[in-house]
A and B are shown apart, each in its own frame.
Chain A
Amino acid sequence: MFLLGAAGLLGFLGLWWGLSASGLVAKQFLPTPLEVLARTLYLLTEPFAGATLPEHLARSFERYAYGFMLAAAVGVPLGLLMGWFRWLDDMVTPVFDGLRFIAPIAWVPFAALWFGTGIGGPIMIIFSGAFPPCLINAYRGARFVDRTYIEAAQMLGTGNLRTILQVLLPASFPSIVAGLRIGAGLGWQSLVGAELIVASAGVGYLMVQGQSNISTPTVMAGMIAIGLVGLLIDVALRQVEAFVRRRRGLA
Protein backbone atom coordinates (compact mmCIF):
# COMPACT_ATOMS: atom_id res chain seq x y z
CA MET A 1 0.00 0.00 0.00
CA PHE A 2 2.74 2.35 0.95
CA LEU A 3 4.52 1.52 -2.26
CA LEU A 4 1.44 2.37 -4.26
CA GLY A 5 1.27 5.73 -2.54
CA ALA A 6 4.89 6.44 -3.27
CA ALA A 7 4.35 5.34 -6.85
CA GLY A 8 1.36 7.64 -7.25
CA LEU A 9 3.29 10.58 -5.88
CA LEU A 10 6.34 9.92 -7.98
CA GLY A 11 4.18 9.42 -11.02
CA PHE A 12 2.56 12.78 -10.48
CA LEU A 13 5.85 14.57 -9.95
CA GLY A 14 7.32 12.76 -12.91
CA LEU A 15 4.48 13.80 -15.16
CA TRP A 16 4.81 17.37 -14.00
CA TRP A 17 8.53 17.41 -14.53
CA GLY A 18 8.15 15.73 -17.90
CA LEU A 19 5.58 18.20 -19.19
CA SER A 20 7.71 21.09 -18.12
CA ALA A 21 11.22 20.00 -19.00
CA SER A 22 10.30 18.64 -22.40
CA GLY A 23 8.80 21.96 -23.38
CA LEU A 24 5.39 20.48 -24.12
CA VAL A 25 4.06 23.18 -21.86
CA ALA A 26 5.93 26.46 -21.95
CA LYS A 27 8.34 26.95 -19.06
CA GLN A 28 6.63 30.20 -18.41
CA PHE A 29 3.41 28.46 -17.51
CA LEU A 30 4.68 25.34 -15.91
CA PRO A 31 8.05 25.53 -14.23
CA THR A 32 9.63 22.25 -13.20
CA PRO A 33 9.15 21.08 -9.64
CA LEU A 34 12.77 21.83 -8.99
CA GLU A 35 12.41 25.41 -10.12
CA VAL A 36 9.47 25.88 -7.82
CA LEU A 37 11.40 24.43 -4.93
CA ALA A 38 14.38 26.62 -5.71
CA ARG A 39 12.21 29.69 -5.84
CA THR A 40 10.58 28.80 -2.55
CA LEU A 41 13.95 28.46 -0.87
CA TYR A 42 15.08 31.70 -2.43
CA LEU A 43 12.07 33.56 -1.12
CA LEU A 44 12.73 32.30 2.36
CA THR A 45 15.54 34.78 2.69
CA GLU A 46 15.28 37.20 -0.22
CA PRO A 47 12.46 39.73 -0.34
CA PHE A 48 9.96 39.97 -3.15
CA ALA A 49 7.19 42.54 -3.30
CA GLY A 50 8.45 44.13 -0.14
CA ALA A 51 9.33 41.26 2.16
CA THR A 52 10.56 37.70 2.38
CA LEU A 53 8.14 34.81 2.29
CA PRO A 54 8.20 34.21 6.04
CA GLU A 55 7.58 37.91 6.62
CA HIS A 56 4.61 37.89 4.29
CA LEU A 57 3.32 34.78 6.01
CA ALA A 58 3.67 36.43 9.38
CA ARG A 59 1.63 39.42 8.27
CA SER A 60 -1.03 37.15 6.84
CA PHE A 61 -1.12 35.03 9.94
CA GLU A 62 -1.40 38.04 12.20
CA ARG A 63 -4.53 39.25 10.48
CA TYR A 64 -5.87 35.77 10.34
CA ALA A 65 -5.37 35.24 14.06
CA TYR A 66 -7.24 38.42 14.96
CA GLY A 67 -10.09 37.66 12.62
CA PHE A 68 -10.42 34.10 13.77
CA MET A 69 -10.26 34.91 17.46
CA LEU A 70 -12.92 37.55 16.97
CA ALA A 71 -15.13 35.08 15.15
CA ALA A 72 -14.70 32.52 17.91
CA ALA A 73 -15.16 35.05 20.70
CA VAL A 74 -18.44 36.25 19.21
CA GLY A 75 -19.67 33.06 17.58
CA VAL A 76 -19.26 30.51 20.33
CA PRO A 77 -20.95 32.39 23.20
CA LEU A 78 -23.69 33.63 20.89
CA GLY A 79 -24.28 30.13 19.60
CA LEU A 80 -24.49 28.72 23.09
CA LEU A 81 -26.93 31.40 24.20
CA MET A 82 -29.02 30.88 21.10
CA GLY A 83 -29.15 27.20 21.86
CA TRP A 84 -30.35 27.93 25.37
CA PHE A 85 -32.69 30.89 24.91
CA ARG A 86 -35.22 30.11 22.28
CA TRP A 87 -36.22 33.75 21.83
CA LEU A 88 -32.65 34.68 21.01
CA ASP A 89 -32.56 31.91 18.44
CA ASP A 90 -35.79 33.22 16.91
CA MET A 91 -34.31 36.70 16.71
CA VAL A 92 -30.89 35.98 15.36
CA THR A 93 -31.47 33.07 12.99
CA PRO A 94 -33.42 34.95 10.30
CA VAL A 95 -30.79 37.65 10.18
CA PHE A 96 -27.99 35.11 10.11
CA ASP A 97 -29.68 33.02 7.42
CA GLY A 98 -30.09 36.11 5.28
CA LEU A 99 -26.46 37.13 5.50
CA ARG A 100 -25.06 33.64 5.37
CA PHE A 101 -25.50 33.15 1.66
CA ILE A 102 -23.35 36.09 0.78
CA ALA A 103 -20.01 34.51 0.00
CA PRO A 104 -17.46 35.87 2.48
CA ILE A 105 -15.41 37.20 -0.37
CA ALA A 106 -18.27 39.38 -1.48
CA TRP A 107 -17.70 41.44 1.64
CA VAL A 108 -14.33 42.58 0.36
CA PRO A 109 -15.40 45.66 -1.61
CA PHE A 110 -17.62 46.68 1.23
CA ALA A 111 -14.82 46.22 3.70
CA ALA A 112 -12.53 48.20 1.45
CA LEU A 113 -14.95 51.11 1.40
CA TRP A 114 -15.60 50.92 5.08
CA PHE A 115 -12.07 50.32 6.37
CA GLY A 116 -9.88 51.45 3.55
CA THR A 117 -6.61 49.56 3.42
CA GLY A 118 -6.30 49.16 7.17
CA ILE A 119 -6.28 45.90 9.00
CA GLY A 120 -10.01 46.14 9.60
CA GLY A 121 -10.80 45.03 6.07
CA PRO A 122 -9.11 41.61 6.08
CA ILE A 123 -10.30 40.98 9.61
CA MET A 124 -13.87 41.53 8.50
CA ILE A 125 -13.47 39.05 5.67
CA ILE A 126 -11.86 36.44 7.87
CA PHE A 127 -14.59 36.99 10.40
CA SER A 128 -17.32 36.44 7.82
CA GLY A 129 -15.66 33.19 6.78
CA ALA A 130 -14.88 31.80 10.23
CA PHE A 131 -17.98 33.01 12.04
CA PRO A 132 -20.70 30.70 10.63
CA PRO A 133 -19.13 27.36 11.64
CA CYS A 134 -18.24 28.68 15.10
CA LEU A 135 -21.79 29.87 15.63
CA ILE A 136 -23.57 26.89 14.07
CA ASN A 137 -21.56 24.28 15.90
CA ALA A 138 -21.89 25.99 19.27
CA TYR A 139 -25.61 26.36 18.63
CA ARG A 140 -26.02 22.74 17.60
CA GLY A 141 -24.00 21.54 20.53
CA ALA A 142 -26.17 23.47 22.96
CA ARG A 143 -29.50 22.83 21.30
CA PHE A 144 -29.09 19.11 20.89
CA VAL A 145 -27.45 18.43 24.20
CA ASP A 146 -28.84 15.38 25.88
CA ARG A 147 -31.91 16.55 27.76
CA THR A 148 -31.12 14.29 30.67
CA TYR A 149 -28.08 16.40 31.58
CA ILE A 150 -30.25 19.50 31.79
CA GLU A 151 -32.89 17.68 33.77
CA ALA A 152 -30.29 16.38 36.17
CA ALA A 153 -29.01 19.92 36.67
CA GLN A 154 -32.51 21.25 37.24
CA MET A 155 -33.25 18.52 39.72
CA LEU A 156 -30.12 19.55 41.59
CA GLY A 157 -31.39 23.12 41.71
CA THR A 158 -28.88 24.73 39.36
CA GLY A 159 -29.47 28.32 38.30
CA ASN A 160 -29.50 29.49 34.68
CA LEU A 161 -26.01 30.93 34.44
CA ARG A 162 -24.40 28.02 36.18
CA THR A 163 -26.27 25.57 33.98
CA ILE A 164 -24.99 27.30 30.88
CA LEU A 165 -21.41 27.50 32.09
CA GLN A 166 -21.07 24.18 33.84
CA VAL A 167 -23.41 21.88 32.00
CA LEU A 168 -24.16 23.24 28.54
CA LEU A 169 -20.67 24.43 27.71
CA PRO A 170 -18.84 21.24 28.68
CA ALA A 171 -21.49 19.09 27.01
CA SER A 172 -21.19 21.07 23.79
CA PHE A 173 -17.43 21.12 23.88
CA PRO A 174 -16.77 18.47 21.22
CA SER A 175 -19.14 20.19 18.82
CA ILE A 176 -17.60 23.58 19.57
CA VAL A 177 -14.10 22.31 18.93
CA ALA A 178 -15.18 20.79 15.61
CA GLY A 179 -16.73 24.12 14.70
CA LEU A 180 -13.52 25.95 15.59
CA ARG A 181 -11.55 23.64 13.38
CA ILE A 182 -13.85 24.16 10.40
CA GLY A 183 -13.98 27.89 11.07
CA ALA A 184 -10.20 28.04 11.22
CA GLY A 185 -10.00 26.44 7.79
CA LEU A 186 -12.59 28.69 6.23
CA GLY A 187 -11.04 31.74 7.85
CA TRP A 188 -7.66 30.96 6.35
CA GLN A 189 -9.21 30.55 2.93
CA SER A 190 -11.07 33.81 3.25
CA LEU A 191 -7.86 35.55 4.22
CA VAL A 192 -6.18 34.40 1.07
CA GLY A 193 -9.05 35.70 -0.98
CA ALA A 194 -9.03 39.02 0.79
CA GLU A 195 -5.33 39.46 0.26
CA LEU A 196 -5.63 38.78 -3.43
CA ILE A 197 -7.78 41.81 -3.78
CA VAL A 198 -6.87 44.39 -1.21
CA ALA A 199 -3.56 44.17 0.45
CA SER A 200 -0.13 45.66 0.48
CA ALA A 201 1.57 42.81 2.24
CA GLY A 202 0.90 39.20 2.98
CA VAL A 203 1.06 35.96 1.08
CA GLY A 204 -1.92 36.71 -1.14
CA TYR A 205 -0.34 39.99 -2.13
CA LEU A 206 2.88 38.13 -2.89
CA MET A 207 1.02 35.88 -5.30
CA VAL A 208 -0.71 38.76 -7.05
CA GLN A 209 2.63 40.47 -7.55
CA GLY A 210 4.08 37.24 -8.78
CA GLN A 211 1.28 36.96 -11.26
CA SER A 212 1.64 40.46 -12.62
CA ASN A 213 5.36 39.93 -12.98
CA ILE A 214 4.71 36.66 -14.77
CA SER A 215 6.75 34.80 -12.22
CA THR A 216 4.97 31.49 -12.08
CA PRO A 217 7.47 29.95 -9.65
CA THR A 218 6.65 32.74 -7.20
CA VAL A 219 2.93 32.14 -7.52
CA MET A 220 3.43 28.44 -6.95
CA ALA A 221 5.71 29.06 -4.01
CA GLY A 222 2.96 31.17 -2.49
CA MET A 223 0.43 28.41 -3.07
CA ILE A 224 2.66 25.89 -1.38
CA ALA A 225 3.25 28.16 1.60
CA ILE A 226 -0.47 28.83 1.99
CA GLY A 227 -1.28 25.18 1.66
CA LEU A 228 1.35 24.21 4.20
CA VAL A 229 0.20 26.69 6.82
CA GLY A 230 -3.42 25.75 6.25
CA LEU A 231 -2.49 22.10 6.67
CA LEU A 232 -0.60 22.76 9.88
CA ILE A 233 -3.53 24.67 11.32
CA ASP A 234 -5.88 21.84 10.41
CA VAL A 235 -3.63 19.11 11.76
CA ALA A 236 -3.08 20.98 15.01
CA LEU A 237 -6.79 21.52 15.55
CA ARG A 238 -7.60 17.93 14.62
CA GLN A 239 -5.22 16.82 17.34
CA VAL A 240 -7.01 19.06 19.79
CA GLU A 241 -10.34 17.71 18.65
CA ALA A 242 -9.18 14.11 18.95
CA PHE A 243 -7.84 14.83 22.41
CA VAL A 244 -11.15 16.29 23.51
CA ARG A 245 -13.05 13.36 22.10
CA ARG A 246 -10.79 10.85 23.78
CA ARG A 247 -11.22 12.59 27.13
CA ARG A 248 -14.94 12.24 26.67
CA GLY A 249 -14.82 8.63 25.62
CA LEU A 250 -16.28 9.54 22.25
CA ALA A 251 -13.35 8.32 20.22
Chain B
Amino acid sequence: MGISRRSMIGAATIACLLALWAVLTMVTGTIDTLRFPSPVQFWQSAKQIMTTGYADGTLLSHALHSLELVVMGFVVAAAFGIPLGLLMGWNRRAEALINPVFLLIRPIPPLAWIPLAILWLGLGDAAKIMVIFFAAFVPSVINTFTGVRAIEPHLIEAARMLGTGRWRFTSEVLVPAAAPMIFTGLRLSLQASWTTLVAAELVGALAGLGRVLNVAQQDIYPSMVMVGMAAVGALGWGTTRVLAAIESRAMPWLIVRA
Protein backbone atom coordinates (compact mmCIF):
# COMPACT_ATOMS: atom_id res chain seq x y z
CA MET B 1 0.00 0.00 0.00
CA GLY B 2 1.58 3.19 -1.10
CA ILE B 3 1.18 6.47 0.73
CA SER B 4 -1.42 8.43 -1.16
CA ARG B 5 -0.77 11.90 -2.42
CA ARG B 6 -3.64 13.07 -0.32
CA SER B 7 -2.19 11.98 3.00
CA MET B 8 1.21 13.34 2.04
CA ILE B 9 -0.20 16.78 1.43
CA GLY B 10 -2.16 16.52 4.66
CA ALA B 11 0.86 15.47 6.64
CA ALA B 12 2.95 18.21 5.07
CA THR B 13 0.37 20.85 5.96
CA ILE B 14 0.25 19.73 9.56
CA ALA B 15 4.03 19.61 9.75
CA CYS B 16 4.22 23.15 8.38
CA LEU B 17 1.67 24.42 10.85
CA LEU B 18 3.51 22.80 13.74
CA ALA B 19 6.76 24.28 12.59
CA LEU B 20 5.12 27.68 12.24
CA TRP B 21 3.71 27.31 15.72
CA ALA B 22 7.11 26.53 17.16
CA VAL B 23 8.84 29.35 15.33
CA LEU B 24 6.30 32.04 16.11
CA THR B 25 6.22 31.25 19.81
CA MET B 26 9.75 30.27 20.63
CA VAL B 27 11.99 31.87 18.08
CA THR B 28 10.58 35.15 16.93
CA GLY B 29 8.30 35.74 19.89
CA THR B 30 5.58 37.08 17.61
CA ILE B 31 2.97 35.32 19.69
CA ASP B 32 2.96 36.13 23.34
CA THR B 33 3.32 32.87 25.22
CA LEU B 34 1.29 34.30 28.05
CA ARG B 35 -1.68 34.05 25.75
CA PHE B 36 -0.85 31.21 23.42
CA PRO B 37 1.49 28.47 24.57
CA SER B 38 4.51 27.16 22.69
CA PRO B 39 4.83 23.49 21.78
CA VAL B 40 7.34 22.97 24.55
CA GLN B 41 5.05 24.48 27.14
CA PHE B 42 2.22 22.33 25.86
CA TRP B 43 4.31 19.22 26.25
CA GLN B 44 5.41 20.19 29.76
CA SER B 45 1.84 20.74 30.89
CA ALA B 46 0.81 17.48 29.34
CA LYS B 47 3.52 15.69 31.27
CA GLN B 48 2.50 17.44 34.42
CA ILE B 49 -1.13 16.46 34.30
CA MET B 50 -0.36 12.95 33.26
CA THR B 51 2.04 12.29 36.13
CA THR B 52 1.63 14.54 39.13
CA GLY B 53 -1.82 15.68 38.24
CA TYR B 54 -3.68 18.98 38.08
CA ALA B 55 -6.93 20.25 39.55
CA ASP B 56 -7.15 17.30 41.92
CA GLY B 57 -6.57 14.52 39.50
CA THR B 58 -4.47 13.07 36.74
CA LEU B 59 -5.38 13.30 33.09
CA LEU B 60 -6.58 9.74 33.24
CA SER B 61 -8.84 10.24 36.24
CA HIS B 62 -10.36 13.40 34.78
CA ALA B 63 -10.85 11.80 31.39
CA LEU B 64 -12.43 8.70 32.84
CA HIS B 65 -14.76 10.76 34.94
CA SER B 66 -15.96 12.77 31.96
CA LEU B 67 -16.23 9.65 29.86
CA GLU B 68 -18.31 7.90 32.49
CA LEU B 69 -20.83 10.71 32.61
CA VAL B 70 -21.10 10.99 28.86
CA VAL B 71 -21.64 7.28 28.40
CA MET B 72 -24.26 7.14 31.13
CA GLY B 73 -26.23 10.09 29.86
CA PHE B 74 -25.92 8.98 26.25
CA VAL B 75 -27.03 5.40 26.88
CA VAL B 76 -30.04 6.42 28.97
CA ALA B 77 -31.05 8.99 26.37
CA ALA B 78 -30.81 6.45 23.57
CA ALA B 79 -32.65 3.83 25.62
CA PHE B 80 -35.60 6.19 26.02
CA GLY B 81 -35.29 8.14 22.82
CA ILE B 82 -35.18 5.36 20.27
CA PRO B 83 -38.31 3.53 21.45
CA LEU B 84 -40.14 6.84 21.69
CA GLY B 85 -39.07 7.75 18.18
CA LEU B 86 -40.19 4.36 16.91
CA LEU B 87 -43.55 4.78 18.57
CA MET B 88 -44.10 8.29 17.30
CA GLY B 89 -42.97 7.32 13.82
CA TRP B 90 -45.22 4.34 13.55
CA ASN B 91 -48.30 5.40 15.48
CA ARG B 92 -49.89 8.60 14.25
CA ARG B 93 -51.91 8.95 17.41
CA ALA B 94 -48.88 8.74 19.62
CA GLU B 95 -47.22 11.35 17.47
CA ALA B 96 -50.17 13.70 17.67
CA LEU B 97 -50.29 13.33 21.44
CA ILE B 98 -46.61 13.73 22.22
CA ASN B 99 -45.53 16.11 19.50
CA PRO B 100 -46.69 19.42 21.03
CA VAL B 101 -44.80 18.76 24.25
CA PHE B 102 -41.80 17.73 22.25
CA LEU B 103 -41.98 20.87 20.15
CA LEU B 104 -41.91 22.90 23.34
CA ILE B 105 -38.83 21.20 24.70
CA ARG B 106 -36.95 20.94 21.46
CA PRO B 107 -35.95 24.55 20.75
CA ILE B 108 -34.34 24.95 24.14
CA PRO B 109 -30.63 24.43 23.56
CA PRO B 110 -29.26 21.66 25.76
CA LEU B 111 -26.81 24.04 27.40
CA ALA B 112 -29.67 26.23 28.50
CA TRP B 113 -30.73 23.45 30.85
CA ILE B 114 -27.54 23.83 32.89
CA PRO B 115 -28.65 26.58 35.26
CA LEU B 116 -31.89 24.75 35.90
CA ALA B 117 -30.10 21.49 36.45
CA ILE B 118 -27.80 23.16 38.96
CA LEU B 119 -30.76 24.64 40.77
CA TRP B 120 -32.44 21.25 40.94
CA LEU B 121 -29.56 18.92 41.52
CA GLY B 122 -26.61 20.99 42.62
CA LEU B 123 -23.11 20.87 41.25
CA GLY B 124 -22.64 17.12 41.39
CA ASP B 125 -22.73 14.40 38.78
CA ALA B 126 -26.50 14.04 38.78
CA ALA B 127 -27.00 17.48 37.28
CA LYS B 128 -24.48 16.71 34.57
CA ILE B 129 -26.21 13.49 33.63
CA MET B 130 -29.55 15.24 33.52
CA VAL B 131 -28.28 17.84 31.09
CA ILE B 132 -26.53 15.25 28.96
CA PHE B 133 -29.76 13.29 28.88
CA PHE B 134 -31.74 16.23 27.57
CA ALA B 135 -29.08 17.00 25.02
CA ALA B 136 -28.81 13.47 23.68
CA PHE B 137 -32.51 12.67 23.92
CA VAL B 138 -33.83 15.04 21.28
CA PRO B 139 -31.66 13.99 18.30
CA SER B 140 -32.30 10.32 19.06
CA VAL B 141 -36.05 10.77 19.00
CA ILE B 142 -36.15 12.99 15.95
CA ASN B 143 -33.86 10.87 13.81
CA THR B 144 -35.51 7.61 14.80
CA PHE B 145 -38.87 9.18 13.98
CA THR B 146 -37.62 10.40 10.61
CA GLY B 147 -36.10 7.00 9.95
CA VAL B 148 -39.42 5.26 10.46
CA ARG B 149 -41.31 7.75 8.33
CA ALA B 150 -38.78 7.38 5.55
CA ILE B 151 -39.21 3.64 5.21
CA GLU B 152 -40.18 2.74 1.66
CA PRO B 153 -43.91 1.96 1.78
CA HIS B 154 -43.50 -1.16 -0.34
CA LEU B 155 -41.32 -2.75 2.31
CA ILE B 156 -44.10 -2.32 4.82
CA GLU B 157 -46.66 -3.67 2.37
CA ALA B 158 -44.45 -6.67 1.65
CA ALA B 159 -44.16 -7.34 5.39
CA ARG B 160 -47.94 -7.17 5.78
CA MET B 161 -48.46 -9.38 2.78
CA LEU B 162 -46.12 -11.94 4.32
CA GLY B 163 -48.30 -12.06 7.41
CA THR B 164 -45.79 -10.58 9.87
CA GLY B 165 -46.77 -10.50 13.51
CA ARG B 166 -46.36 -7.35 15.62
CA TRP B 167 -43.26 -8.20 17.56
CA ARG B 168 -41.44 -9.66 14.57
CA PHE B 169 -42.45 -6.65 12.48
CA THR B 170 -40.88 -4.24 14.98
CA SER B 171 -37.68 -6.21 15.48
CA GLU B 172 -37.09 -7.55 11.99
CA VAL B 173 -38.60 -4.90 9.75
CA LEU B 174 -39.12 -1.57 11.48
CA VAL B 175 -35.85 -1.29 13.37
CA PRO B 176 -33.52 -2.54 10.61
CA ALA B 177 -35.22 -0.33 8.07
CA ALA B 178 -34.86 2.73 10.28
CA ALA B 179 -31.40 1.73 11.50
CA PRO B 180 -29.33 4.04 9.27
CA MET B 181 -31.18 7.10 10.47
CA ILE B 182 -31.18 5.84 14.04
CA PHE B 183 -27.41 5.76 13.92
CA THR B 184 -27.28 9.25 12.46
CA GLY B 185 -29.29 10.30 15.47
CA LEU B 186 -26.90 8.50 17.79
CA ARG B 187 -23.94 10.27 16.26
CA LEU B 188 -25.60 13.62 16.81
CA SER B 189 -26.54 12.58 20.33
CA LEU B 190 -22.95 11.70 21.10
CA GLN B 191 -21.72 15.05 19.82
CA ALA B 192 -24.33 16.85 21.87
CA SER B 193 -23.43 14.78 24.93
CA TRP B 194 -19.80 15.86 24.82
CA THR B 195 -20.59 19.50 24.23
CA THR B 196 -23.03 19.55 27.10
CA LEU B 197 -20.77 17.66 29.46
CA VAL B 198 -17.84 19.97 28.89
CA ALA B 199 -20.04 23.01 29.31
CA ALA B 200 -21.58 21.67 32.48
CA GLU B 201 -18.17 20.88 33.92
CA LEU B 202 -16.95 24.33 32.98
CA VAL B 203 -19.73 25.90 34.95
CA GLY B 204 -18.90 23.94 38.04
CA ALA B 205 -17.52 20.54 38.81
CA LEU B 206 -15.25 18.66 41.15
CA ALA B 207 -13.59 16.51 38.55
CA GLY B 208 -13.50 16.03 34.82
CA LEU B 209 -11.92 17.60 31.79
CA GLY B 210 -14.17 20.62 31.99
CA ARG B 211 -12.86 21.25 35.48
CA VAL B 212 -9.33 21.07 34.18
CA LEU B 213 -10.19 23.70 31.61
CA ASN B 214 -11.91 25.86 34.18
CA VAL B 215 -9.12 25.77 36.72
CA ALA B 216 -6.49 26.30 34.07
CA GLN B 217 -8.32 29.35 32.86
CA GLN B 218 -8.56 30.80 36.31
CA ASP B 219 -4.90 30.08 36.94
CA ILE B 220 -4.12 31.79 33.64
CA TYR B 221 -2.35 28.66 32.45
CA PRO B 222 -2.89 28.60 28.66
CA SER B 223 -0.83 25.50 27.93
CA MET B 224 -2.91 23.50 30.38
CA VAL B 225 -6.04 24.84 28.71
CA MET B 226 -4.65 23.54 25.46
CA VAL B 227 -3.94 20.14 26.98
CA GLY B 228 -7.51 20.03 28.21
CA MET B 229 -8.86 20.90 24.80
CA ALA B 230 -6.69 18.28 23.16
CA ALA B 231 -7.96 15.69 25.63
CA VAL B 232 -11.56 16.66 24.93
CA GLY B 233 -10.93 16.38 21.22
CA ALA B 234 -9.22 13.02 21.59
CA LEU B 235 -12.02 11.52 23.65
CA GLY B 236 -14.61 12.92 21.29
CA TRP B 237 -12.81 11.37 18.37
CA GLY B 238 -12.37 8.06 20.17
CA THR B 239 -16.00 7.68 21.18
CA THR B 240 -17.10 8.62 17.67
CA ARG B 241 -14.92 5.89 16.21
CA VAL B 242 -16.34 3.35 18.64
CA LEU B 243 -19.84 4.32 17.59
CA ALA B 244 -18.85 4.06 13.93
CA ALA B 245 -17.48 0.58 14.53
CA ILE B 246 -20.73 -0.46 16.21
CA GLU B 247 -22.63 1.06 13.32
CA SER B 248 -20.81 -0.91 10.66
CA ARG B 249 -21.11 -4.14 12.67
CA ALA B 250 -24.81 -3.60 13.16
CA MET B 251 -25.60 -2.94 9.54
CA PRO B 252 -23.47 -5.28 7.45
CA TRP B 253 -25.82 -4.98 4.54
CA LEU B 254 -25.08 -1.33 3.87
CA ILE B 255 -22.70 -0.45 1.12
CA VAL B 256 -19.75 1.35 2.71
CA ARG B 257 -20.09 5.10 2.43
CA ALA B 258 -17.20 7.09 1.06
Q: Mark B217-238, 1 if CB is under 8 A from A, else 0.
A: 1001010011011101110110
Residues of chain B with a CB closer than 8 A to A101's CB: 232-234, 236-237, 240
**From residue 38 to 71 of chain B, which have CB atoms closer than 8 A to chain A?**
none
**Is B97 a contact of A5 with CB atoms below 8 Å?**
yes
Whole-angstrom distance between the Cβ of B5 and the nearest chain A Cβ: 7
Chain B CB within 8 A of A208 CB: yes
A residues at B contact (CB < 8 Å): 1-2, 4-9, 12, 29, 87, 90-95, 98-99, 101-110, 112-114, 188-189, 192-193, 196-197, 204, 207-208, 210-211, 214, 216, 219-220, 222-224, 226-228, 230-231, 234
Bound CA span A4–B91, Å? 13
Chain A residue contacts of B14, Cβ below 8 A:
94-95, 98
Q: What are 29 A-B pairs with beta-carbon distances under 8 A?
A: A1-B92, A5-B97, A8-B96, A8-B97, A9-B104, A29-B120, A90-B9, A90-B10, A91-B10, A92-B13, A95-B17, A98-B14, A102-B230, A103-B191, A103-B194, A105-B198, A106-B198, A108-B202, A108-B213, A108-B217, A109-B217, A110-B225, A113-B35, A193-B111, A211-B115, A223-B108, A223-B112, A227-B108, A230-B107
Are the CB atoms of A104 and B195 closer together than 8 Å? yes
Given contacts A109-B225, A113-B35, contact A189 B110 (CB under 8 A): yes
Closest to B92 in A: A1
Contacting A at CB under 8 A, from B178-226, are: 191, 194-195, 198-199, 202-203, 210, 213-214, 216-217, 220, 222, 225-226
Contact, CB under 8 Å: A196 / B116: no
B215 nearest CB neighbor, chain A only: A109
The binding surface of chain B is classed by DSSP as helix
Q: List the B residue with the shortest CB-CB distance to A12.
A: B101
Which residues of B does A touch, CB under 8 Å?
5-6, 9-11, 13-14, 17, 35-36, 92-93, 96-101, 104, 107-116, 118-120, 191, 194-195, 198-199, 202-203, 210, 213-214, 216-217, 220, 222, 225-226, 228-230, 232-234, 236-237, 240
Residue of A nearest to B109 (CB): A189
Residues of B within 8 A of A224 (CB): 108
